[in-house]
Structure 1
């Protein structure tokens, strides 16, 4: 069972962090369009589970299932992901299975593949148009026993980039987007 050992932080100086990442790895720019699904009673969300259909740059699609967190301080979760040939058909399958769309949003990402202490890492600078600020995610996909060691490496990388513990957050983008939308809509769903 692979676990996404990940830390996420608010970035106070995005230009400096981006320059530092570009010194360490090639930059790959991507736009993710994410749709999250749940049962009508929101059972999966209540249990900390996620079902996501992601379209990357309009050309590649991924179906992801995440179990509840295994490390509350980091938000690290077991993750299962597979490529999807037809996202429209997959959306139909999920809906026929009784799931419904609960939220959709866009992430603009700058991805950097790094290696530290023999561990392959993905660092991603993230901007969500609806949210203020820029975020940095650093993750490694590891087996459960390796999560603590992987998180130590992730913390080292964050420290090298000038990201301190006070910048870390476990708030999910889905929660943040939902909060922003709820404050901008009236009782009839209008802005």
Structure 2
């Protein structure tokens, strides 16, 4: 079972990172509208699972994705198995999810610059992310580990690439956007 091997970091020098990525691959501008769901008693999310409907807007058009992420295969990085499929209508998918008993947890917008390239025998995706409710800019670097035994090597490749891009280990984070947005919403309501 493939595992999404992903590292996320806060970016200290955004122009330098974008320049380094622009030298590697073509930039694709993307806006994502993410809706996350939890079980009525909150145990689904508290167990580390995610259920998400994502609407992705690019110059090429709009597509909707339904994603289930199982609890972490690697707690240090937050990497975990991910199952994703395209759905025709995000509102219909949400009606199905709600009909199955899940409840809305949080919704957020992400403005992203995606870069895809191949390096060291791996397909890499770097995504530079801003979320309006969260201060700062993040970079996510992901590749696919084909099995549990490949996860360590995939994470090592991602970490080495981040270093090449000027991202230090102390900038890595496992903070979830959902948690940060929920905290920002609570703070603004207080």
Instruction: Indicate the TM-score class for this superposition, using the shorter chain for normalisation.
Output: over 0.9
Q: Which runs of 5+ in 2 are unaligned?
A: none
Match of 2:187 in 1: 183
CA distance in 2, matches of 1:137, 1:114: 14
- Structure 1 residue 88: deviation in Å? 1.1
- Structure 1 residue 121: deviation in Å? 0.7
CA distance in 1, matches of 2:94, 2:75: 30
Match of 1:169 in 2: 173
CA distance in 2, matches of 1:183, 1:92: 29
Q: Deviations over 1:33-63 (max 9, x none)?
A: 0000111111111110000000001710000
1:155 to 151, 155, 159: 159
- Structure 1 residue 73: deviation in Å? 1.1
Structure 2 SS opposite 1:123: strand
CA distance in 2, matches of 1:117, 1:111: 19
Structure 2 SS opposite 1:59: strand
- Structure 1 residue 145: deviation in Å? 1.7
Match of 1:71 in 2: 74
2:133 pairs with 1:123: no
CA distance in 2, matches of 1:152, 1:126: 22
Q: Which runs of 5+ in 1 are unaligned?
A: 187-191
TM-score (norm 1): 0.95
- Structure 1 residue 142: deviation in Å? 2.0
2:108 pairs with 1:84: no
2:112 pairs with 1:109: yes
- Structure 1 residue 68: deviation in Å? 0.6
- Structure 1 residue 14: deviation in Å? 0.6
Match of 1:61 in 2: 64
Match of 2:43 in 1: 43
Q: Deviations over 1:116-164 (max 9, x none)?
A: 2110010000000111100000001222221100111101110001101
Misfit runs of 4+, over 3 Å? none
CA distance in 2, matches of 1:18, 1:181: 29
2:138 pairs with 1:135: yes
CA distance in 2, matches of 1:152, 1:59: 33
CA distance in 2, matches of 1:145, 1:92: 38
Structure 2 SS opposite 1:75: coil
Q: How many matched pairs? A: 186
Structure 1 SS opposite 2:153: helix
